[in-house]
Amino acid sequence: MSRENPFSTRAVRPGAIAFLFEAGVDARSLVDRFLASGRRGQIVGPHGSGKSTLLASLAEELRARGIAVKLVELHDGCRAMPDEAVAQKGEVLMVDGYEQLGVVARSKLAFEVARRQAGLLVTSHRNVRWPIPLPVIYATHPGVELAERLALELLSRSRHPEAVSAAEIRGLYEAEQGNLREVFFRLYDLYESRSR
C-alpha cells in the first residue's frame, strides 16, 4: 500500500499503469501486427485516451523480443524531430505525438527510417496518411467504464481507497469530456483534499 497520492504523476504516467486492452487483444498480438506491417504502424486516439501508455506497453513487448526501441516524445508545438532522435539499423523508433510534425519533418523522418532500415511506430490524434500511410494497428477509445476501472484500481492501492467514489469518477469523466489525463489531475486534487 502506497502512502502517496494514487493519482500523482509517478503513479499514472505511461508505463506506470498497464494499458487495459479490449477483449481479444494484447501487447503481443499488437506487436505481431506491427511486425507483419513491415515494422510500420500508428496508434490513433483522442487526447488522454491512453496512447502513450499503450506505446510503453508495446515498447516493453518489443524489448522482450530483443528488438531495440528508441522513444521520442514530442511536446506541444513541436514541428520537427529533435536532432538526436536517429534510429539505428533494426531499431524501432517510437514517436509520441506524430501529428504535431510538419509535412516536411514527416517526409524526412520516413526517408531516414527507410534508409536506416529501422521501424516506425507512432501515436497520433488522427489517422495521418501523408506522406506515407502508416497502418493503424490500434485505435484507443476512452470510455467511462475504463476511467472508473483505472481510478478504482489506483485508489485500491492507496491508504484512503474511500476518498473518491465511483459516482464522482464518472462525474469527472463527463466534466472533462473523456480526457483521462485531466480526470486524473482532478482526482489528484480531490484525493489530496480528503486524505490529509
Partner 1 sequence: MNDPGITILLEGNRRAFEPGDVLTAEYRIDSLSLVDAKAIEASVIWYTVGKGDEDLAVHHFVRQTTDAGVVFDLRRPQRLRATLPSSPLSYDGVIVKVRWCVRVRLFPARGRELVAEVPFQLGRVPAAAVPAPPESIAVHE
Residue 10 binds to partner 1 (criterion: CB under 8 A): yes
Whole-Å CA distances, 25 to 48, 119, 130, 137? 20, 21, 27, 11
d(CA 194, CA 109): 48
- Whether the Cβ atoms of residue 71 and residue 59 lie closer than 8 Å to each other: yes
Binding residues with partner 1: total (CB under 8 A):
24
If the CB atoms of residues 153 and 192 are measured against partner 1, the closer one turns out to be 192
Q: How far is CA 43 from the centre of its chain?
A: 8
Of these, 172, 178, 179, 180, which contacts partner 1 (CB under 8 A)? 172
Closest approach of Cβ 82 to partner 1, in Å? Answer: 18
Residue 153 binds to partner 1 (criterion: CB under 8 A): no
Q: Which helix (H) or strand (E) holds 192?
A: helix 180-195
Q: Which residue has the cell 513541436?
A: 78
What is the crossing angle of helices 27-36 and 51-64, to 10°?
Answer: 80
Residue 192 binds to partner 1 (criterion: CB under 8 A): yes
| Cross-strand partners of 43 | 123, 138
Of these, 71, 108, 112, 185, which contacts partner 1 (CB under 8 A)? 185
Of these, 5, 49, 52, 123, which contacts partner 1 (CB under 8 A)? 5
By CB under 8 A, the residues from 86 to 115 that bind partner 1 are none
Contact code string over 52-91 relative to partner 1, x by CB under 8 A: ----------------------------------------
Residue 186 binds to partner 1 (criterion: CB under 8 A): yes
Residue 9 binds to partner 1 (criterion: CB under 8 A): yes
d(CA 146, CA 166): 12
Closest approach of Cβ 64 to partner 1, in Å? Answer: 10
Q: Return the ∠ at Cα 133 (arms to 41 and 126), rounded to 5°.
A: 75
DSSP label at residue 160: -
Q: Which chain residues interact with partner 1 by CB under 8 A?
A: 2, 4-5, 7-10, 165, 167-168, 170-172, 174-175, 185-186, 188-190, 192-194, 196
